Amino acid sequence: MATTLATCASLGLRAAYVGAFGSDPDGMALRRALEQRGVDTSFSVERRGRGRSALIVVDEQSGDRTVLWERDAGLDLRDEEIPAEIIAAARALHVDDTDCATTIAAARIARHAGVPVTSDFDQMNGATTELLAAVSVPVLAESMPAALTGERDPERALRALQRPEHQMICVTLGARGAMMLVGDRIYQAPAFDVTVVDSTGAGDVFRGAFIAAMLRGDAPDQILRFANAAAALACTREGALDSVPSLENVSALCRAGL
């Protein structure tokens, strides 16, 4: 979520984080890092204790990463802490599957106000089906469509998952790029050929760029191309927040071709 919002801010959007930060040094450092990257944290709350933490192991040869993380359930938001008016006035709401009750409540507020809701769902849990129905623009990790449908072919899986409430539904495909279903039409865009240093945060950067392109009214194929370019650039740099590219760099890669 942090990397996605930092990407949105880097690409010219006004972005705000709604959530809870731990009062420990790591939690405060994350808050400062977001603010330094132009993300508004004034709608967030602070909880006494530890914030979410992660250990990331990166393969030096392939750039692939494994993330080991922990998060105190005390960081979940309470109903009265969800800024309904801010959500209803937004151009888009981006949610994940960490705090499921808050995600569903916030998504319903946005949907009622006609605000598109994008998602970052990368693991199965007891609320996944309900979460998927709550959003209007699901952006799924590569493993999710097959896990949800049992269908290994990405196109058939997207068609099986599509619901009337979905404006579009997208799956990231790693080195194969990304695919999106809009109505009855499938769009697919290949990945950009780059030297991968660290894939940490690439999916989050993809989502931030996807949101930016969607909100400026790009056609579906161009949304995928722009998001793929941003994710590719992220893979050429170490870290998550530090891998967020600029609008100029993403646009330049798009112009340069695959």
Per-residue pLDDT of the chain in tens (258 residues, 90 and over written 9): 999 999 999 999 999 999 999 988 988 999 999 999 999 999 999 988 665 555 555 556 555 655 545 556 677 898 899 999 999 999 999 999 888 899 999 999 999 999 999 998 888 888 899 999 999 999 999 999 999 999 999 999 999 999 999 999 999 999 999 999 999 999 999 999 999 998 889 999 999 999 999 999 999 999 999 999 999 999 999 988 999 999 999 999 999 865
Give the pTM. 0.90
Return d(Cα 46, Cα 122) in angstroms, integer. 26
Give the chain's domain count. Answer: 1
Q: Which domain holds residue 243?
A: 76-256
- Answer yes or no: is 143 within a domain: yes
pLDDT at residue 123, rounded to an integer: 82
Q: First CA to last CA across the chain, in angstroms? A: 28
Burial 46-72 (b: 16+ CB within 10 A, else e): ebeebbbeeeeebeeeebeeeeeeebe
Backbone angles phi, psi at 4, to 5 degrees: -60, -45
pLDDT at residue 72, rounded to an integer: 67
Where residue 130 sits, what CATH number does that domain have? 3.40.1190.20
Question: For residue 173, how many C-alpha atoms fall within 13 Å in the half-sphere facing its CB?
Answer: 20
Which of 151, 97, 83, 102 is CA-nearest to residue 129? 97
Rounded to the nearest angstrom, the gap between the alpha carbon of residue 230 and the centroid of all alpha carbons in its chain is: 13
Backbone angles phi, psi at 23, to 5 degrees: -85, 0
Return d(Cα 153, Cα 22) in angstroms, integer. 41
- Answer yes or no: is 228 within a domain: yes
**Would you state the structure tokens that stand for residue 207, as one six-digit string?**
């989502």
Helix axes 2-10, 25-36, angle to 10 degrees: 20
pLDDT at residue 126, rounded to an integer: 86
pLDDT at residue 206, rounded to an integer: 97
Which of 42, 46, 49, 68 is CA-nearest to residue 57? 68
- Answer yes or no: is 1 within a domain: no
